[in-house]
């Protein structure tokens, strides 16, 4: 039997990563100790995580028709991703992310959307049949918001499960939130969406209840090294602890979690085992540098889980 179909709609960036002792202050110039350019973007990172974990996945995205865009598309093809719907745009550059990583593995990021901004509603409509034929649609917020809404509307009409990773943080209309089945915000994004600062289990549940009231069945608030607060509508939530590892950097950790989580759910795993699988994938990712280079393959995740029993 063919594996259930996942569609990811989202961004692709060329990540320029500089490792520094500390983040620069305004007006300060600092020297980095390592630089690399690798492919990233939240959509692409999540697609790579799903592809490497074994998902049957198509990726909806726009790249510049430039050397970087062509190389990025070729790279995605090697990660078990159907790239037929990725468009190369002539008059715009591939998206760029400028990233500082400090000695604690924390990062700050600035993004230029570039070709990601061309993923407009007309693009979504052109590839609407891919969404309609899927079992699940995973999206983030580095694409135009009206396109995210249009894709969610198409999915909902066909009873396709909609998963939203609401990052980068921003306020969202209830019109969109009402179409979401699973949402995966971090603490900052949760506060943007609910007005509630997540500082403990009680505040996490209060925030989850606000999102449930907006129509979302399943809320997963990612809490970094603490783990994930998971709440199903009409049930009391709980925390699922993360695995303890020494982080090199946290770039793409959340994206890896999301891609791995949806892959496990589409394979028929229930929520708790799926979260543990996603935790394992993210734990491996933070022990490696960069975005997509840090994303593990399925056999690595399975081995990590087996060693953790």
Beta bridge mates, 39: 14
Check whether 15 is labelled as a binding-site residue: yes
Check whether 223 is labelled as a binding-site residue: yes
Among 109, 35, 118, 110, CA closest to 69: 118
β-strand pairing of 107-112 with 95-101: antiparallel
Angle at CA of residue 136, ends 8 and 176, nearest 5°: 80
Check whether 147 is labelled as a binding-site residue: no
**Residue 148: CB partners within 8 Å, gap ≥ 6?**
9, 139, 141, 164, 176
Check whether 155 is labelled as a binding-site residue: no
Tokens of 140: 């983030």
Q: Let me know: does 222 contact 254? Beta carbons within 8 Å.
A: yes
Q: Let me know: does 183 contact 164? Beta carbons within 8 Å.
A: yes
Catalytic residue among 79, 181, 255, 302: 255
Check whether 40 is labelled as a binding-site residue: no
Check whether 43 is labelled as a binding-site residue: yes
Check whether 201 is labelled as a binding-site residue: no
Whether residue 66 is preceded by a cis peptide bond, meaning omega within 30 degrees of 0, is no
Check whether 14 is labelled as a binding-site residue: yes
Check whether 45 is labelled as a binding-site residue: yes
Phi, psi of 15 (to 5 degrees): -90, 125
Check whether 290 is labelled as a binding-site residue: yes
Check whether 225 is labelled as a binding-site residue: yes
Whose structure tokens read 């002792």? 21
Question: Is residue 255 annotated as a catalytic residue, yes or no?
Answer: yes
The residues that are catalytic are 255
Q: Which residues are annotated as a binding site?
A: 13-15, 41-45, 142, 186, 222-227, 249, 251, 254-255, 279, 285, 288, 290, 294
Q: Which residues are annotated as a binding site for substrate?
A: 13-15, 41-45, 142, 255
């Amino acid at each position: 039997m063919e594996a259930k179909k996942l569609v990811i709609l989202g961004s692709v960036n060329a990540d320029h990563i500089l490792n520094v002792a500390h983040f620069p202050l305004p007006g300060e110039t600092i020297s980095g100790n390592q630089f690399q350019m690798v492919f990233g973007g939240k959509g692409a990172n999540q697609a790579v995580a799903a592809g490497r974990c074994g998902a049957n996945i198509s990726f909806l995205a726009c790249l510049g028709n430039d050397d970087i865009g062509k190389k990025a598309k070729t790279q995605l093809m090697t990660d078990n991703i159907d790239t037929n719907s990725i468009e190369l745009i002539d008059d715009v550059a591939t998206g760029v992310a400028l990233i500082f990583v400090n000695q604690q593995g924390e990062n700050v990021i600035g993004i230029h959307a570039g070709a990601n901004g061309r993923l407009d509603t007309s693009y979504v409509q052109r590839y609407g049949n891919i969404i309609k034929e899927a079992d699940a649609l995973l999206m983030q917020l580095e694409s135009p918001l009206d396109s995210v809404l249009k894709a969610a509307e198409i999915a909902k009409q066909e009873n396709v499960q909609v998963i939203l990773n609401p990052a980068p943080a921003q306020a969202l209309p209830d019109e969109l939130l009402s179409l979401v089945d699973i949402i995966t915000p971090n603490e900052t994004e949760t506060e943007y969406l609910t007005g509630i600062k997540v500082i403990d289990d009680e505040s996490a549940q209060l925030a989850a209840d606000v999102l449930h009231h907006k129509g979302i069945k399943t809320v997963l608030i990612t809490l970094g090294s603490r783990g994930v607060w998971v709440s199903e509508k009409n049930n009391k939530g709980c925390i699922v602890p993360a695995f303890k590892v020494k982080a090199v950097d946290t770039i793409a950790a959340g994206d890896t979690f999301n891609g791995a989580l949806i892959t496990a759910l589409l394979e028929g795993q229930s929520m708790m085992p799926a979260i543990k699988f996603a935790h394992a994938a993210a734990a491996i990712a933070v022990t490696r540098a960069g975005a997509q280079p840090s994303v593990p393959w399925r056999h690595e995740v399975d081995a990590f889980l087996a060693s953790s029993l």
